[in-house]
Structure 1
């Protein structure tokens, strides 16, 4: 996911408490925001389309949806590989269900023991990925 420096980080780095619109940022402030993205863009050409897609997705989101997306990224980063595999399997299955089916699967998932979840993931695992994003 394309993530920019937080307001707090930029304010701290630039010594400003309140920050202006993009057009009023100094060249140094703009570079501070853009540099991490440029590094990822150059280092991972195979992920460029994904980065563009996520940036477009973020533009269409409400502020609340963006906040939720950032929280999801934080949770993902703290998951073990086993937990990530479980979430991929669960998400993949949820996408194929209607709302009632998703609700039922969420309830079943919450009621499962860790061993039952592992078995469910083995039975419903999506194809393996080269690496986590």
Structure 2
């Protein structure tokens, strides 16, 4: 028993010799590991991601990783999905950085909406897509697309009863 007390005392003495606090942790930036350069990609990935070839070297690692994940899913896509993927990637490659930022912002904004509001927007978008191209062009030229995609106004309740009561 005396030995145990002696050992505890030594441990306590040693603990008091060293600072009770450790050095504060350094701030570490957790980021995406470097992704391969264009020439290091397999030929199959370069073929899928061809519209992005010119800007690949300037692309952030996180963006490269996202595109590589999409390219990995590409072989299992249906033909319709592959065509849509290629068309959207081509459109993306043609956008300016400002346009891309706006698209990302809109995407995040829509994802924050409640489910019922998302459904309303989907229905309006579907109705817009069913318009003939000439009418869609007219909507875009008249800047009515924002109005078309805006949530519907809240119906006013009680106004009909108030109007009917004032008439009597």
Highest RCO, 1 vs 2 (Cα 8 Å, sep ≥ 6): 1
Larger Rg: 2
Give the TM-score normalised by the residue count of structure 2. 0.40
Give the TM-score normalised by the residue count of structure 1. 0.48
